[in-house]
Every structure is written in C-alpha cells, then in structure tokens.
C-alpha cells in the first residue's frame, strides 16, 4: 500500500474504492481517515472501503471523538460500517459539510442503511429518515424485533415514503419478528401484499411465517438486490433471488427434497446454506413436572423452550444434579466468563447485556455512559457467539459458543444471574434490568412486582 498511497500526491483523485481489505489492513492505513480530511494532498469526494464480507468491514467508533478527527468539507458520499446506531447519527452532525447537519439534509440525495436486530425502529430509524426529505435514492436492510405489528406497506408509506416526495428509487428488505400475544392477528401473504400496493411504481414481495414463538414477516423490493436472507420457513415465493449468497431456513416441519429443489432454482448463486429444523412439543395444560428420577437429558428436552412449550408449568421437581443444568453461575466473574465463552473483564465488549465499547485511557479500559444503550438480546448473543466460533476469532466480546447455550430453559443472556454490582459500575444496570423485566411474562411480572413491594430498599430499578 505504501508504494501506491505514499509515493506521490494525487491532486486530481476524486474517487477511491478499495476491495477485499481485511480489518487489520484497513485499520492500519485508515485509522485517522487521512484520505478523507487531508485535503492538501487528496481531494477525495467519494470514499468506499468494502471488505470481503460484512464481518470484515472496518468499524468506525465516534463516541467522544472530536469533530476535527473525522471531518470533510467536500466528501459527498461515504460507505462505512459503524459500531452502533448512534455513530451513524454522529456522522450527520456537521462533520461532513456537504451532508450538512442532522436537522436539515437538503444535499443528501442517496442514503443506504443496514441494521441487524434493531428493536427501536420507530424511535430511531424513522426519525432519522424524516430528516432526509430530499432523498432521491434510498436503500434499507432492516431486521426488526420487539414490535407488536408487522412493518407493512401502509407503515412504509405513512411513516417514510410520504415524507420523501423526490424519491425515485427505493430498494428495501425489512424483516419483522413479533412475539406471540393474545391479540396477535395472523396476517396472510395476501393481507400484507394488499398493503404493499401503497408503494407505487414498484414491484414488491412478501413472506409470512408463524412459528410457535410468534410471527415473522419479510417485505422487500423486486428484484431482490441484497446478498443475505434469513429466517425463511418451508414456503418460498416464485421469485428468483439472483443476488443471495447466504440463506438461513428454519421450521418445525422437516424440509423435504422438493423444498431444496426450489432453493436450487430460486437461489442460483447461493454459497452458504444454514438449516435449523426442530419440532416443538406443545403441552399447553401441564402445570407440574417431576423429573427427579429421570435421566438428565430430559431436563434439556422439557425445559429448553426451543424444544418443548410448557406455558402453564408452575411446579418443577428435579434432583440437585439436574438443576445444575438449569442454573448458571453467579458472582464470580472469571467463572461466568469461562462458562459463557466470553472475553476477559477488560475486553472491548465486556458487558454481557450491552454493546458499549471500551476505550483506552491512561492505560485503563473505560466504558462511556450512554443514555440510549444498545442491548444484547438473545438473538445477538446467539449470532455473535456462532460467528466467533465459525470464524475462529473474537466477535464483540465473544470467543465462541457457550457450553450452556443449548440447555438453558431461558435463552442467554436473560438466563444469566448477576448478584454483584459489575453492571452498575458501567452505569447500565437500569437498562439491563429493564430489558430483563420486559422479557418476563405478565404473570411473572406480577410476582416480581410483589417481591419488590415487600422488600426494604427503594424500588428504583424498574421505574
């Protein structure tokens, strides 16, 4: 690289694209992004650093970074992966003059956003896009959790598209995961497709799937221009996905030969196929379970909510050795770190419940306070640990898959019991406990509320 970048000045260079850079090389040469703001040497108005895969993109963290460290008065287009959603907002706070400020973005004509597992779409994504009313091209790839309803054509039209009168290109894929509730309405593909008619002058598609734990809806523009598609059930639409190279399918019904014939037909460039197939046993009326004289394997069978659904279970009888399979360790951080296959206490991402990245200051690792904390959900925990195991590298604090991940009755990290002030030291205890409290069933919340009322110290955690 030195032979190219540092051998001479390039006064007429206006565009730079770098492909197949791994993270170490990109970090070494672009740590201070001198190619962006060193305007005396290189007049770069378009910057794109694209790794061989999304996991290899160089990560940019702007928390507590002075505006002069990353700024440009001429940069008009930037493709880069940020650590957290807040850093995306910081890029639009005046550092890039031609993109102006977040309050008004009249010069921004093209915008692309990818967010995996976001649980605050209406509070974060929609307000951000509302500042981009002059957009002509918009590309979004979103995986949304913790919504009561699916994101459909009506929502896209009323919340986003109607506020962008100059938009002529809208490329999108949005997956919504909702949990099972008494009021959940099971919409069909045709129901969703009817709402998508509000998106004018564009061909769109959808897929819906209702596993035991809730519902999943995919809405997307056609042709499908993204390379990744996940959480697909046994039914495939009659659409050719020419760009998809990674596909993850899962269902409680076994996939048959005819399904894979359709996969081969509809995904001609597929390189990676991940299959999750399981049958959930539903025992909706069982209130008592006695397995004290049974083999310990029955603990995993009956109390792993990915294998058996026991919504009314109130009494469990088991021997001590079996209960060890249900409970994780408490108090001792080293033991907890080992059993979870997590990095050390002073790792960059050392909190089990959030994604706040540590910063080196004075030889110590410190963790800045954030009012809006990016929480780890069970999907993040599973995905990142699997990535670390598959690629044999550290991934956001993970070294690999936890040895207890498959035997817990509650998914990690919600099954982790912490009875020390570690998270309080990071000032994220309130957000952590809110996340845990939100995951409880209504009946369990009543029990927790009753216990809090009866205790002596003030109830500040949940309220």
DSSP string, 350-407: --TTB-PPPEEETTEEE----SS--B--HHHHHHHHHHHHHHTS-BTTB-S--TTTTT
169 and 110 in contact (C-beta within 8 Å)? no
pLDDT at 451: 74
Q: Is residue 39 very low, low, confident or very high in pLDDT (cuts 50, 70, 90)?
A: very low
- State whether the Cα torsion 308-309-310-316 is positive or negative: positive
Q: Which tens digit of pLDDT belongs to each residue from 148-195?
A: 888 889 889 889 899 999 999 999 999 998 876 555 677 887 888 888
Q: Which tens digit of pLDDT belongs to each residue from 262-296?
A: 999 999 999 999 887 766 677 888 888 887 777 76
Sequence-distant (6+) residues with CB within 8 A of 379 are: 117, 145
Tell me the domain boundaries of the chain: 327-454
Report how far residue 167's alpha carbon sits from residue 283's, in angstroms, rounded to the nearest whole number. 51
The strand ranges marked E within 180-270 are: 204-209, 214-221, 228-232, 246-251
249-281 burial, b at 16+ Cβ within 10 Å, e below that, comes to bbbeeeeeeebeeebeebbeebeeeeeeeeeee
pLDDT at 107 over 60: yes
Tokens 């090389």 appear where?
25
Higher pLDDT, 90 or 205: 205
pLDDT at 463: 35
Question: Which of 7-16, 68-77, 202-211 is predicted least confidently?
Answer: 68-77
Q: Indicate the average pLDDT of the chain.
A: 72
Pairing of strands 308-309, 16-19: unpaired
Question: Which of 111-115, 221-225, 313-317, 422-426 is predicted least confidently?
Answer: 422-426
Report how far residue 71's alpha carbon sits from residue 33's, in angstroms, rounded to the nearest whole number. 9
CA distances from 312 to 92, 134, 183 (A): 49, 53, 19
Q: Which of 63, 64, 75, 10 is nearest to 37 (CA)?
A: 75
Report how far residue 463's alpha carbon sits from residue 448's, in angstroms, rounded to the nearest whole number. 13
Q: Which tens digit of pLDDT belongs to each residue from 295-351?
A: 766 766 776 665 677 778 777 776 655 554 444 333 345 667 777 788 766 667 777
Q: Which of 405, 421, 422, 425 is nearest to 413 (CA)?
A: 405
What percentage of the chain reaches a pLDDT higher than 90?
A: 12
pLDDT at 7: 67
Report how far residue 48's alpha carbon sits from residue 346's, in angstroms, rounded to the nearest whole number. 32
Q: What predicted TM-score, i.e. pTM, was given to this entire model?
A: 0.51
* Residue 181 three-state SS: coil
Q: Which of 68, 133, 84 is nearest to 105 (CA)?
A: 133
């Amino acid at each position: 690289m030195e032979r190219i970048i540092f051998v001479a000045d390039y006064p007429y260079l206006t565009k730079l694209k770098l492909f197949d850079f791994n993270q170490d090389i990109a970090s070494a040469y672009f740590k201070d992004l001198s190619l962006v703001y060193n305007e005396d040497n290189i007049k770069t108005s378009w910057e794109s650093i694209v790794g061989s895969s999304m996991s290899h993109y160089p990560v940019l963290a702007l928390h507590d970074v002075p505006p002069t460290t990353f700024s440009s008065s001429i940069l008009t287009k930037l493709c880069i992966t940020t650590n957290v959603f807040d850093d995306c907002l910081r890029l639009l706070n005046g550092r890039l003059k031609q993109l102006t400020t977040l309050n008004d973005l009249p010069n921004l004509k093209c915008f692309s956003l990818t967010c995996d597992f976001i649980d605050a779409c209406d509070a974060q994504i929609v307000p951000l896009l509302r500042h981009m009313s002059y957009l002509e091209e918009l590309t979004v790839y979103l995986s949304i959790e913790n919504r009561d309803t699916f994101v459909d054509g009506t929502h896209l039209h009323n919340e986003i598209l109607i506020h962008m009168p100059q938009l002529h290109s809208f490329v999108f894929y949005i997956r919504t995961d909702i949990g099972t509730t008494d009021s959940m309405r099971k919409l069909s593909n045709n129901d969703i497709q009817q709402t998508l008619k509000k998106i004018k002058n564009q061909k769109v598609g959808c897929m819906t799937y209702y596993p035991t734990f809730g519902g999943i809806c995919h809405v997307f523009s056609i042709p499908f221009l993204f390379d990744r598609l996940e959480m697909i059930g046994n039914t495939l639409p009659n659409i050719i996905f020419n760009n998809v190279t990674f596909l993850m399918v899962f269902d409680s019904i076994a996939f048959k030969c005819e399904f894979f014939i359709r996969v081969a037909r509809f995904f001609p460039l597929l390189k990676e196929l991940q299959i999750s197939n399981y049958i959930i046993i539903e025992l909706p009326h069982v209130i008592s379970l006695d397995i004290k004289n049974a083999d310990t394997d029955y603990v995993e069978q009956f109390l792993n909510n990915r294998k058996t659904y026991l919504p009314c279970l109130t009494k469990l009888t088991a021997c001590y050795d079996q209960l060890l399979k249900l409970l994780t360790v408490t108090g001792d951080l080293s033991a907890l770190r080992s059993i979870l296959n997590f990095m050390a206490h002073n790792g960059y991402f050392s909190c089990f419940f959030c994604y706040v990245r540590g910063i080196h200051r004075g030889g110590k690792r410190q963790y800045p306070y954030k009012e809006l904390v990016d929480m780890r959900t069970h999907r993040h925990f599973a995905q990142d640990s699997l990535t670390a195991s598959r690629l044999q590298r550290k991934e956001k604090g993970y070294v690999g898959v936890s040895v207890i991940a498959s035997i817990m009755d509650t998914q990690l990290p919600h099954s982790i019991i912490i009875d020390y002030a570690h998270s309080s030291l990071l000032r994220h205890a309130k957000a952590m406990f809110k996340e845990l409290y939100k995951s409880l069933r209504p009946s369990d919340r009543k029990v927790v509320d009753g216990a809090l009322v009866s205790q002596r110290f003030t109830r500040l955690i949940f309220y």
